[in-house]
Amino acid sequence: MYREEDFLQLSGIQHFAFCRRQWALSYIEMQWQENVRTAEGRILHEKAHDPLLKEKRGDLLIVRAMPVHSREMGVSGECDVVEFHKAPEGISLAGREETYIAVPVEYKRGIPKTDDSDILQVAAQAMCLEEMLCCKIPKGYIYYGETNHRVEVIFTDEVREKVKKAFTEMHKYYEQRYTPKVKISKRCNACSLKDICVPVLNKRKSVSTYIDKMLSEKENE
């Protein structure tokens, strides 16, 4: 069990799954730059968290910006939206006679990603809710703003294990204040930290090796 002062930000798992170096630069070195993608994503989240958009639809209760945490995984954060569906096999909620099943919904800009970063984030939210509410949550959803559609996510044992392993590794890096090197890929172009990261200096060669090579080329000109 982790102490509260050692909790990491839950939302960091999406950055970690996308690129470990990006996560370390953002959450360990505290560097951040906003690009068009992050700006649009922030606006979408602000809309999801708008208290004026609270609603109740029949047997459905909607809670926005719900704080969650897990002492087992050592993380805390917020769920964009948690839907509570009335069901006889659900859990009791304060001030309600009925029982409900919790379903987390994460809001994202764009379209579904080719990696599992979004999936791991909403799964982490579900695992926090399970620990807090003492229940089982089999599925959740990810809403994508560009397609105006939400995708169902089943929280399999494999997904849950990936979440646990990711947080364990994140805690290890954070404790050591370690920023991993990066392997350059096409997705570096879309990264908001590409100018800070300077990945060309981390591509299999140390900075000194890179400088030596440049000096050698100068001498041979």
The pLDDT tens digits of the residues spanning 196-210 come to 886 554 554 444 554
* Annotation: CATH topology of 4-183: Lambda Exonuclease; Chain A (3.90.320)
What residues contact residue 42 under an 8 Å CB cut-off, 6+ apart? 34
Average pLDDT over the chain, rounded to an integer:
85
89 to 92, 96, 156, 157: CA distances (angstroms):
10, 15, 20, 21
What is the mean pLDDT of the segment spanning 121-127?
98
User: Per-domain residue ranges for the chain?
Assistant: 4-183
* Per-residue pLDDT tens digits for 137-189: 999 999 999 999 999 999 999 999 999 999 999 999 999 999 998 778 888 88
158 to 1, 9, 115: CA distances (angstroms):
22, 22, 15
What is the mean pLDDT of the segment spanning 41-49?
55
Of the CA atoms within 13 Å of residue 13, those in its CB half-sphere come to 30
At 67, the pLDDT band (50, 70, 90 cuts) reads very high
Q: Is 33 helix (H, G, I), strand (E, B) or coil?
A: coil
Q: Is 166 exposed, middle or buried (0-12, 13-18, 19+ CB in 10 A)?
A: buried
* Per-residue pLDDT tens digits for 9-33: 999 999 999 999 999 999 999 886 5
What is the mean pLDDT of the segment spanning 2-6?
95
Answer whether 0.85 is exceeded by the pTM.
Answer: no
